[in-house]
Amino acid sequence: MSLLKHRLIGIASLALLVSFVLVQGCGKGRSADVNPEGTLKSTVKKKPKNEEILAWIGNDVITSEEYKEEFAMLSPTYRNVAVQYKDQLLESLISRHLLLQEAKRKNLQDSETVKKLIERTKEEIMIQCLLDREISDKAEVTDSEIENHYQKNRDNYT
């Protein structure tokens, strides 16, 4: 098994573990709105038009469109690896759906901890977007500037 495959699997496993720990630690002791059979009270999602369903997870579906969106959000490095290991990306999506279903079953969306984490994450995303817009998008370095820097600091690179 290649090093990149090990890294991709390791990162996915770590993300699932962290998600599981967060789910276990938030909103303990809350009950969910479940049917007598122990399933969530909800309706089955209808199949999106013209989309291939890749997996059914309880009442949820993973469509080819969701898979493509997830793939597009990967960094270019992981995108290259994911092309070779498409099944692992789908397994990761399935695991995320299962964890989310369990979190909803435990009504974690109503937890104060979850609400605070969502607000903090929203703020962090807004800050990152601002920095991208104001700094990263405007920062341009020319080839000649790179060459000049290299020539002045040549000893640092050898």
Answer for the pair 59, 45: CB distance below 8 angstroms, yes or no. yes
- Sorted by sequence, the CB contacts under 8 Å of residue 11 that are 6+ apart come out as 78
pLDDT the model gives residue 48: 59
Question: Does the model's pTM come out above 0.75?
Answer: no
pLDDT the model gives residue 77: 83
pLDDT the model gives residue 46: 53
Give the span between the Cα atoms of 11 and 148, in whole angstroms: 38
Nearest of 112, 132, 131, 110 to residue 31 by alpha carbon: 110
pLDDT the model gives residue 33: 42
Answer for the pair 55, 90: CB distance below 8 angstroms, yes or no. yes
Q: What is the pLDDT along the chain (158 residues), one digit of tens a residue?
A: 455 555 555 555 545 444 443 333 444 433 334 444 444 444 445 555 677 998 998 888 999 999 999 888 888 888 888 888 888 889 989 999 999 999 999 999 999 999 999 999 999 999 999 998 888 767 788 888 888 998 899 888 87
pLDDT the model gives residue 122: 96
pLDDT the model gives residue 22: 38
Give the span between the Cα atoms of 138 and 78, in whole angstroms: 26
pLDDT the model gives residue 19: 45
pLDDT the model gives residue 157: 84
Q: How far is CA 71 from CA 66, 93, 140, in A?
A: 9, 10, 28
pLDDT the model gives residue 7: 55
